[in-house]
Amino acid sequence: MAGPELRRLCAALPEISPGVRCPTGEARITAGARLNVGHVIHAVAPVFPAYAPEEAERLLEQAFLSSLLLAQEESVHAVAIPALGCGLFGCPVEVGAHAALEACRDFSMGQGPKPEVHFVLYKSSELRAWLTATEAVTTPLSNQRTLHMPSSAARLVPTPKCD
């Protein structure tokens, strides 16, 4: 679909050091190539075995947050975010879910209009982890009510896997 064109757009991003166009924990934006979307936000998750666990989780949360801030800066109305780092990069899905939802919570507290956030989760284990993390990340209030993230902060929808 987007292959060569998206690769060309990524290669056009400025290098900040030799071979690095986007450092771990940050995000960059390009046109959508042939993906039938206006933009693609490229976020770099940490390779978990290469970092101490706390640092890896911090960098992952920063990658999610950087994506959301960039979407807001570019006036993107909706974003679809996968389980960053939870595949080849070795992040435990529970850690990824927690980092994603912490980033959404932090982002939702900022100023300005927020894009609608959709987590694209292909496995039932990912969905379960995101639902569990949602409960852990919401903040209980003193009168036993729960402060829920705004609807613009996150929406969990199981997505069929497309090959």
Q: What number is the average pLDDT over the span 105-114?
A: 90
The 3-state secondary structure of 89-102 reads: CCCCHHHHHHHHHH
pLDDT score, position 139: 54
Q: What number is the average pLDDT over the span 37-55?
A: 95
Prediction pTM value? 0.81
Helix (H) or strand (E) holding 158: strand 155-158
Q: Examine the pLDDT at 86 and tell me if it is beyond 60.
A: yes
Q: Show the domains of the chain with their CATH numbers.
A: 4-138 (3.40.220.10)
Which amino acid is it at 74?
E
Are 104 and 64 in contact by the 8 Å Cβ rule? The answer is yes
Model confidence band, residue 22 (pLDDT cutoffs 50, 70, 90): very high
**pLDDT: is 142 or 140 the higher one?**
140
Model confidence band, residue 121 (pLDDT cutoffs 50, 70, 90): very high
What mean pLDDT value characterizes the chain?
84
pLDDT score, position 7: 82
Model confidence band, residue 145 (pLDDT cutoffs 50, 70, 90): very low
In whole angstroms, what is the distance from residue 46 CA to residue 64 CA?
Answer: 11
- Name residues whose C-beta falls within 8 Å of residue 109's C-beta, 6 or more positions apart in sequence: none
Question: In Å, what is the CA distance from 25 to each residue of 5, 123, 136, 148?
Answer: 24, 24, 23, 26
In whole angstroms, what is the distance from residue 2 CA to residue 36 CA?
Answer: 9
In whole angstroms, what is the distance from residue 110 CA to residue 131 CA?
Answer: 23
Q: What number is the average pLDDT over the span 4-21?
A: 86
DSSP-derived secondary structure for 114-128: --EEEEEE-SHHHHH
pLDDT score, position 23: 93
Q: Examine the pLDDT at 43 and tell me if it is beyond 70.
A: yes
Q: What number is the average pLDDT over the span 75-98?
A: 95
